[in-house]
Chains A and B, each alone.
Chain A
Amino acid sequence: MTDSLFSCLIENPLQCTVVVNNVEHQVPAQLSVAGALLYLGHRQVRQHSVSGEARAPFCHMGVCFECLVTINKGQQQRACLQQVMPNMRIDTVTKELTQ
């Protein structure tokens, strides 16, 4: 994780606690999971399975499947199609690149 490239434009947003890769964070409650990951400074959520390239949320509308993460230990799913929920467990599929 690095400094975020994104900031929240909503003033005084409601906060929501999520657990990303076993670490608790506060994020604006209106965000999608993909938005929350970008807000928290994640620049990679998975690796391309063949090339190993870093991948991150891209289309934010369910088409590109670049934002697949594991939510609440279930199957991988598109982070852009889920809104954050209190105490949601989000696991990015690969380790972060070294900073």
Chain B
Amino acid sequence: MGTCKNELLVNLVDQQLDHYDWIIVGGGLVGASIAYGLIQKKPHLRILVLDGEDTDHRASVGNFGLIWVQGKGFDFPAYAKWSLKGADLWPNFANQLSQTSHIDIAYERRGGLEFALNQRHLKALSEEMAAMSHHTQGDFQYTVLDRNAALDMQPGLGESVAGAIYSPQDGQVNPLYLLAALHKANQLLGVKYQPRCVVKRIEVLAQGFDADGFVAKKIVLCAGLDNERLGKQLGMHLPVNPVKGQMLITQRATPGTLKYASPQMRQTGDGTIQIGGSHEHSGLDDRSSLDVMQTIAQEAVAVLPELAQLQLVRSWGALRVMSPDGAPIYQRSQNHKGAFGVCCHSGVTLAAAHAGPLSSWLLDDPNEDYKLLIEAMNNDRFTV
């Protein structure tokens, strides 16, 4: 028996029900999306989500909230197709999730702009977009905007903006409401949830798995940065590293101050402007720092000078869950049938894909096209 099971204060899990069909290790966006997908497809399944401590590193409560296609997988065709399909599945997913959970997750798909601060950057971005369009047989849509065309879409741009890429396929959502909606929907649909349960040891049984005393036929590791440690216990190589992003939030501004989302900034449904886009390799240190806050604020003001008039109300740092090439890892354990690992940094963009085709793949019932895509993102690519 593991420590979690002995905690009397947690009564959310039916202690009588010792055997589950599925254990999902991790209750962030990835784990919650997969649990949601599984229970929707097979409502009779007994599913248990084991979540960590509130103080654990949680990319799902620190992220930016973009459903972003531009540039994803420009050097990895399967990831490019997967990101685009994931974004295309989002409207139905958002609709259904809002109806089930009665939570408005502030989803919108008005498109996104990535700004270039010089011609060289604009050219590099254009080449990435062309590669993505090629990988997706033209399904990925984008426009390269010169400075004047960019100004037509976003008035008030700074002098240094050379142009932008626009894609109508990008969108945004409130990531905190998304996570809350998934958990609420899962609870309503009968998924069991165990908080404050950092899984220490997973044992392989004759038929199934024992995660610190919780037993299930199948298990999916969705534990973010902890996947590497847990994967080893099931014979899976799941290489992930933390990449810190820092974020700033301004006071509420007039809606439409930012017309479109971008990787550096977006205006939330509440009017605040979220500024981010930094990348730091600083281990598990997720603190914000003045120099990086200044840099991202300066970059945002370079794009849109009027932002300098706004007061900042909050800042934080969070750790991305990054594989060596930045693309997701979808892994089926070769040694232990029924064990899977899912590592990804795009828990928002891919939430609909995880609830949809990935869950079907886990249930061994995938559409063949998706099966090929998903299995192209296994960890063979990291084998030397």
Q: Which residues of A contact B (CB under 8 A)?
A: 48-50, 65, 68, 75-78
Q: For the complex, is B207 an interface residue (Cβ under 8 Å from A)?
A: no
Contact A65 B254, CB 8 Å, known A49-B271, A50-B269: no
For A68, the chain B residues whose CB sits under 8 A away are: 251, 311
Q: Are B255 and A50 in contact (CB under 8 A)?
A: yes
B253 within 8 A of A: yes
Q: How far is the CA of A68 from the CA of B253 in the complex (A)?
A: 12
Asked if B1 CB lies within 8 Å of chain A CBs, one says no
CB of B263, distance to nearest CB on chain A (Å): 23
B309 at the binding interface (Cβ < 8 Å): yes
Residues of A within 8 A of B252 (CB): 48-50
* B311→A75 contact, CB < 8 A: yes
> B172 to chain A: closest CB distance in Å?
15
* Closest partner residue, chain B, to A63 (CB atom): B313
CA separation between A78 and B254, bound complex, in Å?
Answer: 18
Q: Can you show 5 pairs from A to B with CB atoms below 8 A apart? A: A50-B255, A65-B311, A68-B251, A76-B309, A78-B311
Are the CB atoms of B253 and A49 closer together than 8 Å? yes
Complex CA–CA separation, A68 to B255 (angstroms): 17
Contacts of B251 in A (CB 8 A): 65, 68, 76
- Please report the total number of B residues contacting A with Cβ < 8 Å: 12
Chain A residues with CB under 8 Å of B313's CB are 65
What are the residues of chain B within 8 A of A77 when measuring CB–CB?
A: 311
Which residues of chain A have C-beta atoms less than 8 A from B380's C-beta? none
- Name B311's contact: one of A48, A49, A76 (CB within 8 Å): A76
Q: Is B270 an interface residue (CB 8 A)?
A: yes
Q: How far is the CB of A55 from chain B (nearest CB, A)?
A: 9
Whether A50 contacts B311 by the Cβ 8 Å rule is: no
Q: Which residues of A contact B269 (CB under 8 A)?
A: 50
Residues of B within 8 A of A75 (CB): 309, 311
Q: How far in angstroms is the closest Cβ of chain A from B4?
A: 34
Within 8 A of A (CB), among B235-257: 251-255
Name the residue of chain A whose CB is nearest to the CB of B253.
Answer: A49
A95 to chain B, nearest CB (A): 16
Contacts of B271 in A (CB 8 A): 48-50
CA distance A11 to B29 in the complex (A): 57
Residues of B with C-beta under 8 A to A76: 251, 309-311
Contacts A50-B270, A65-B251, A68-B251 given; 5 further ones with Cβ under 8 A? A49-B253, A49-B271, A50-B271, A65-B311, A78-B311
A90 to B251, CA, bound (A): 19
**A-chain residues with CB within 8 Å of residue B310 when the two chains form the complex:** 76
Kindly state the separation between the CA atoms of A75 and B252 in the bound complex, as whole angstroms: 14
Using Cβ atoms and an 8 Å threshold, which residues of chain B touch A50?
Answer: 252, 255, 269-271
